[in-house]
Amino acid sequence: MVKWIPYVITKKDMRPQFSSDMQYENWIAGQLRAKKITKVRKGLYVVADARGELLATKFEIASKIADDAFLCYHSALEFYGAANQVFHAVTVGSKSRFNSFTFRDIDYIRKQPNNSYGIVYIEQAGVRVTTLERTVIDCIDDIDACGGIDELLGALGQIRILNEKELLGALDAYNCILLYQKAGYILQQYQSKFGLSDAFFDECKRHLTRQVKYFLKDEYSEVEYNSEWQLMAPKNLIARIGGGY
């Protein structure tokens, strides 16, 4: 009867294989009794092996919580292998409302997305995630959601390639003056590493106003005015960037 079972099971994916809702629910109940699947939350299940080990990653699970769910912020950095730390939490972008929950000691936390730019589905991994460029811009916008400034700098140190057109696309989707300031200020430190053009930074500066902003209000005790980006920025930021950039 059942021809195909994905590692992460939702009714939407499996229901076409059954003649009725009742038949589907009976099948789910039987799989649970046989311990072939494990319940994550209502309507979401994961296939398990004979030892009870899950056959899906936390990233695959997160991508199935809602139809529009996707990995973002630090969780996206983890997925791309750019994070310095592994968190016991997954940040899930989704316009669909759901209550954050814990499963197998992992917290799945919903974050309302700012926009829909740069969200991709990576078929071979079964994961929906922000592009690397959007992830970087997201993390610059909300450094706390990235794990802090040192985690952000460490991630930028590990990333090898960034597409400046995609970076500008993500910035344009936000359309936030402060974010243009922060992104220009941070990424200028990595200009040679990522091969970012002067035109990229000129475009960031085109959105600036005369209003002075704080890059970070609480992270550093010593700040100075950066006239190029009209930011009150930490004096020692460059010293904290690894690799000499």
Domain boundaries, the chain: 8-47, 58-244
CA dihedral 54, 146, 139, 97 (to 10 degrees): 60
Angstrom distance (rounded) from CA 145 to CA 141: 9
pLDDT for residue 237:
74
**Global model pTM greater than 0.75:** yes
pLDDT higher than threshold 80 for residue 245: no
Q: Are 55 and 37 in contact (CB under 8 A)?
A: no
pLDDT in tens, 37-52: 999 999 999 999 989 8
pLDDT for residue 241:
60
| Cα end-to-end distance, the chain, whole Å | 58
